[in-house]
Amino acid sequence: MAEWLSVTLAVPPPAQEAASSALFDLGAKAVWEDVPDKEGRILLKASFPREDAMRLMRSLPQTLREAAAAFGLPVASFGLILELVPLVDYTEAWKAGLEPIMVSGSLILSPSFWEGDLAGRFGLAPEKLPPVLRIDPGAAFGSGRHPTTFLCLRILSSLAEAGDTPGRILDIGTGSGILALAAAILFPEAEVTGIDNDPPTVPVAIANRDLNSMGPMPAFSDDPLSGLEPGFHLILANITLNTLMLLAPEITRLAARKASLVLSGLIEAQAEEAARAFRKEGWAWTRHLGQGEWSALCLELGGKAAGGAKHERVMVPEPSLETRPGNEG
């Protein structure tokens, strides 16, 4: 029987996105997330041709050492398993268990391949069905089920339901394009831009835009932030803490007066540090949502709480297939 090489990386949550990108850089044919291990580490599974085994045995330990150094973590906090497994179509493996979810009363998220009666699934009359965003993450981060993405979607929905009308929206590190696409649905009059410094993700985001028949908006590119004109009323950044802190001055330069900012990609212990970095740039911490160990923050440029203390963390239940989500305020 034909075999592939299966690589499992156990990584601390802050290093998840960097580790996933590193696996693709090493030539992975597919990467997906498994359930966390008993130590709370994210398990990343990747598939490679079996002839890559010797090359990966040499390169992966160095990759882990570099990741540990970049995030200030001990090398021992990472784990690595290589094993030969029967040939499976791993490009399809990520689909297992994915079902439509109701993000809010304003948005339903559905895998691109799912076919069925969405109204019946959620117990709604067809005319009461919220807009549906269909996503195929492919080789890019962002299926919508990871807490970092789901929390951003909940904040976006709450801003729309509160009547916010941002004229220009920026999604930094757009990946599959899910947040930019959701923003375009929730704020149909807005000019939405999604950027990512990983060029292969841009075609994935564009394909998802086409999947939803959304025309030229959002605009996706791998252009640097430095090339963008200021004046964004809502900025989304679901990336790692270190990158957020490095980008704080540039994000502030791009923001319009009284702009809103959504930060994610953070574990709870990092929330205060992220907020502190942006308070120095004049941002007020206005909301703090959590799901498990993950957090997402909402901030306002020039708000009254710019120098305030830690904001109360409101917990968000995991996505439900049958029930409507609650209101986090």
pLDDT tens-place string over residues 241-258: 888 999 999 999 999 999
State mean pLDDT over 46-52: 88
Categorize the per-residue pLDDT at 307 as very low, low, confident or very high, splitting at 50, 70 and 90: very low
Model confidence over 153-189: pLDDT tens digits?
999 999 999 999 999 999 999 988 999 999 999 999 9
Model confidence over 194-232: pLDDT tens digits?
999 878 789 989 999 999 999 899 999 999 999 999 999
The pLDDT value recorded for residue 323 is 46
Does the pLDDT of residue 1 top 70, yes or no? no
Categorize the per-residue pLDDT at 102 as very low, low, confident or very high, splitting at 50, 70 and 90: very high
Does the pLDDT of residue 326 top 60, yes or no? no
Model confidence over 254-279: pLDDT tens digits?
999 999 999 998 888 889 999 999 99
Q: Note whether 282 and 302 are within 8 A (CB).
A: yes
30-34 β-sheet, strand order? 30-34, 42-49, 3-11, 79-86
Percentage of the chain modeled with pLDDT above 90? 55
The pLDDT value recorded for residue 39 is 78
CA atoms of 67 and 16, how far apart (whole Å): 10
The pLDDT value recorded for residue 306 is 44
Q: φ and ψ at 266, to 5 degrees?
A: -115, 140
Task: Estimate to the nearest angstrom the gap between the alpha carbon of 243 and the chain centroid.
Answer: 14
Question: How does the average pLDDT of the chain come out, rounded?
Answer: 87
Q: Note whether 308 and 282 are within 8 A (CB).
A: no
User: How is residue 184 written in tokens?
Assistant: 């375009």
- In this structure, the strands spanning 294-301 and 255-267 are antiparallel
Does the pLDDT of residue 42 top 90, yes or no? no
Entry pTM: 0.77
The pLDDT value recorded for residue 224 is 93
Poorest-confidence range of 143-147, 232-236, 317-321? 317-321
Q: Encode 120-142 in three state secondary structure.
A: HHCCCCHHHCCCEEEECCCCCCC
User: Domains (ranges, CATH) in the chain?
Assistant: 3-93 (3.30.70.240), 98-315 (3.40.50.150)
State mean pLDDT over 74-85: 89
State mean pLDDT over 24-37: 79
Q: Please state, as a whole number, how many other Cβ atoms lie within 10 Å of the Cβ of residue 220.
A: 26
Categorize the per-residue pLDDT at 84 as very low, low, confident or very high, splitting at 50, 70 and 90: confident
